């Protein structure tokens, strides 16, 4: 891409509504544009980064055998009535009617829809375990959308769902996801700590929030510092992944809704206590038959009996991650992108004088060579002074 052609509507000032760095920088560098409260358009630069994050998330899901599909954003209210959540979800759900007056909604999550898909075809234990996921827009009519893409109404989420025949088998699926999450965040150069958390409207009694440390985070966290030192070892089978989860579970790490001071003081020595703030970038849940029971999603077992499938769901905030990575890594008003998701691989910044095109021609040669070798390059073809160009282009690249 030639810098002069890049569609990148820069803002000179910080918009007054932007209170945190990531929101300010994303607006100012033309990554996003607010369309209405809590709803954003993703402009080329922001979109490119989000797509790279999405791809890393996808690759790590595929590695543990999860299969990608795509469910629609608009869902029928009927299945939500079957599960009982149509009423429970309250005002956060955007409800709509089609021209026939049929009740529809913009999906805030997909437990019901995936269960409906699953129950329609899977009848035997032989088809289990199964892991399915999609990466799709969600809508939640948040009471107080804020901090740009961090808490907005329309956001891009990876949500996966596991189906097993027993709690024991389901625990293996849960652990696999736990591991895939650690790997995903590591590739994004983030230290995301799994923390015991409340399950809220998703339900169940086992859940971990993956939280990265950031002053501007909305989650208050209480942890044993030593959890940050755990080394992520390659784990290729159920046993080694189970061991890894055990290591994490040894250390106290909870969000404020699960925090109990007595327990914290008892389990964690004063010098290891860490009380700080973080951003929730992922959340995994195990809820057994919470959805399969009301939605009558069962399979035949070997002995002829039937059982409701045991399910879990696993979310990653793909669009939130763009803001979260900025929050975790920015320095002096400059966004710092991990190499794995930087918008361009290489920036070519030649010194170009008005009547001397030699440098530019050389730079273009390199640019074309890189492009022909599938290396995404940005060529600064503007005639500004070299030092100004370095500052501008390299901050965009990083």
Six-digit token pair at 326?
């900025």
Segment interacting with ligand 5CA, rule: CB under 6 A, options 238-246, 282-290, 351-359, 367-375: 282-290
Binding mask 200-219 for ligand 5CA (x = CB under 6 A): --x-----------------
Candidate list 29, 173, 184, 313; residue touching ligand 5CA; CB under 6 A: 313
- Identified binder of ligand 5CA from the candidate list 52, 140, 245, 398, rule CB under 6 A: 140
DSSP secondary structure, 9-29, as one string: ---SS--TT--SHHHHHHHHT
Size of the site for ligand 5CA (CB under 6 A): 19
Nearest residue (CB) to ligand 5CA, 142 versus 249: 142
Contact with ligand 5CA (CB under 6 A) among 155, 286, 360, 367: 155
Looking from the CA of 77 toward its CB, the CA atoms found within 13 Å total: 16
CB 44 within 8 A of CB 7: yes
State how far the Cα of 219 lies from the Cα of 213, in Å rounded to an integer: 9
- CB-based contacts of 51: which residues, under 8 Å, 6+ apart? none
HEC sequence for 196-239: ECCCHHHCCCEEEEEEEECCCCCEEEEEEHHHHHCCCCCCCCHH
Stretch that binds ligand 5CA, among 120-128, 214-222, 227-235, 315-323 (CB under 6 A): 315-323
User: Dihedrals φ, ψ of 331, to 5°?
Assistant: -145, 125
Name the minimum Å distance from CB 310 to ligand 5CA.
16
Q: Write down the least CB distance from residue 279 to ligand 5CA, Å.
A: 8
The residue ranges of DSSP E strands in the chain, in sequence order, are 32-36, 39-42, 67-68, 74-76, 94-97, 103-106, 130-139, 154-164, 192-196, 206-213, 219-224, 253-255, 273-288, 298-300, 306-308, 310-317, 346-348, 377-379
Q: Binding string to ligand 5CA for residues 21 to 40, with x set by CB under 6 A, is what?
A: --------------------
Q: How far is CA 19 from the centre of its chain?
A: 22
Stretch that binds ligand 5CA, among 63-71, 115-123, 280-288, 376-384 (CB under 6 A): 280-288
CA distances to 92, 244, 310 from 84, rounded to whole Å, are: 15, 36, 18
Among 320, 389, 396, 398, binds ligand 5CA (CB under 6 A): 320
Q: Does 152 interact with ligand 5CA (rule: CB under 6 A)? A: yes
- Nearest distance from residue 151's CB to ligand 5CA, in Å? 5
Question: For residues 317 and 343, which CB has a smaller minimum distance to ligand 5CA in the complex?
Answer: 317
Q: Does 282 bind ligand 5CA (CB under 6 A)?
A: yes
Q: Which residues make up the interface to ligand 5CA (CB under 6 A)?
A: 109, 140, 142, 151-152, 155, 157, 159, 202, 280-283, 285, 313-315, 317, 320
């Amino acid at each position: 891409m030639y810098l002069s052609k890049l569609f990148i509507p820069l803002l000179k000032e910080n918009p007054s509504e932007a209170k945190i760095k990531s929101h300010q920088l994303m607006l100012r560098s033309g990554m996003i544009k607010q369309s209405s409260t809590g709803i954003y358009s993703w402009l080329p630069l922001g979109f490119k980064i989000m797509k790279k994050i999405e791809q890393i998330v996808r690759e790590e899901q595929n590695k543990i055998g999860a299969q990608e599909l795509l469910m629609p954003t608009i869902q029928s209210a009927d299945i939500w009535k079957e599960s009982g959540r149509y009423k429970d979800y309250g005002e956060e759900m955007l409800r709509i009617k089609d021209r026939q007056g049929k009740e529809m909604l913009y999906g805030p999550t997909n437990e019901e829809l995936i269960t409906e898909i699953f129950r329609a075809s899977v009848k035997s234990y032989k088809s289990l375990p199964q892991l399915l996921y999609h990466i799709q827009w969600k809508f939640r009519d948040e009471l107080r959308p804020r901090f740009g893409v961090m808490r907005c109404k329309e956001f891009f989420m990876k949500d996966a769902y596991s189906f097993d025949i027993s709690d024991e088998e389901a625990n293996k699926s849960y652990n696999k996801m736990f591991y895939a999450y650690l790997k995903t965040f590591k590739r994004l150069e983030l230290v995301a700590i799994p923390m015991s958390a409340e399950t809220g409207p998703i339900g169940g009694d086992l859940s971990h929030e993956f939280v990265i440390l950031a002053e501007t985070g909305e989650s208050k966290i209480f942890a044993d510092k030593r959890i940050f030192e755990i080394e992520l070892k390659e784990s290729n089978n159920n046993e080694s992944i189970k061991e890894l989860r055990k290591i994490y579970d040894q250390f106290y790490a909870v969000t404020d809704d699960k925090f109990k001071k007595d327990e914290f003081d008892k389990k964690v020595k004063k010098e290891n206590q860490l009380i700080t703030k973080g951003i929730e970038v992922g959340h995994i849940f195990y809820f057994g038959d919470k959805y399969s029971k009301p939605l009558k999603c069962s399979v035949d077992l070997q002995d002829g009996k039937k059982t409701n499938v045991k399910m879990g769901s696993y979310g990653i905030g793909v669009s939130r991650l763009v803001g979260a990575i900025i929050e975790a890594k920015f320095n002096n008003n400059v966004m710092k992108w991990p190499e794995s998701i930087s918008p361009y691989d290489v920036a070519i910044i030649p010194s170009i004088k008005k009547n001397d095109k030699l440098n530019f021609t050389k730079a273009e040669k390199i640019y074309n060579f890189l492009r022909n070798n599938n290396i995404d390059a940005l060529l600064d073809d503007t005639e500004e002074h070299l030092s100004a160009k370095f500052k501008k282009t390299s901050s965009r690249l990083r």
